[in-house]
Amino acid sequence: MPILAIETATLVSSVALATADTLLAEITLQTKKTHSELLMPHIATILESAGVKKSELKAIAVSIGPGSFTGLRIGLATAKTLAYALNIPLIGVPTLAAMAYGCPTPGVILAPMLDAQKGNVYQALFEWKDGRMQEIMPATVMEIGESLAKLAQYKIPVVLMGEAAVLHREKISQAGNPLLLAAPHVIIQRASSVAGLGHMLIEDGIEHDVMALEPLYIRRSEAEVLWERRNGVSV
């Protein structure tokens, strides 16, 4: 039975249907349209196109961040609603890990990064060994210059992907070896990668509470920071 996967980012809206070994359908758009306009119509489209009934879904996998605060909330709210209505498991999939999972390349460091605003990036590091993906640096926030300087110290190729890699492609190109940009079909966030990692998490016995699952923000939103400044709240 397939799972439905949802990925929502600043400029990416993606949904996918996949079994453990087959990608049945995927719609991925890089667009400025709001996710709320796209998600449900696209979900209906891939279900119909793949000939899959809602009752046949095994689980809902959703990207939980870090990333765009608005995008994460819309994606998670949609996933929660579907999982609750269909009474099927909900799997929260870390966004950075999903991107690395979509690029199963041994012998390189995978460096997914997303825009954290004000010249900062969300970043984590992964590598593939013996057919399994391993995290070598957990998700964190750092300034883009600091990030590239640290990545340049590796002796093996470092493959960068994600919205921030696209945003800072000139700086990455100027840095030269060992930093490389991922191919266009890999560099963006895709629901098919969320589905793949989601299946692995299901096999490992991981399932999240529909009511309790929250986005992985890492840092507070700009709105929260501004509110605290205006109201004299110290942090």
Full set of structural domains in the chain with CATH: 3-95+190-221 (3.30.420.40), 96-187 (3.30.420.40)
Q: How far is CA 168 from CA 53, 103, 182, in A?
A: 41, 20, 13
In order along its 235 residues, the chain shows pLDDT tens digits of 899 999 998 788 999 999 999 999 999 998 766 667 789 999 999 999 999 999 999 999 999 999 888 889 999 999 999 999 999 999 999 999 999 999 999 999 999 999 998 899 999 999 999 999 999 999 999 999 999 999 999 999 999 999 999 999 999 988 878 999 999 989 999 999 999 999 999 999 999 999 999 999 886 544 444 434 455 555 4
Tell me: cis bond preceding 94? Omega within 30 of 0 counts: no
**Of 121, 146, 173, nearest in space to 10 by CA:** 121
CA–CA dist 159, 180 (Å, integer):
5
Cis, bond preceding 66 (omega within 30 deg of 0) = yes
Residue 157 bridge partners (DSSP): none
Q: Could you tell me the pTM of the whole model?
A: 0.90
Is 29 exposed, middle or buried, given 0-12, 13-18 or 19+ CB atoms closer than 10 A? Answer: middle
CA 111 vs. chain centroid, Å, equals 13
Q: What is the pLDDT of residue 223?
A: 41
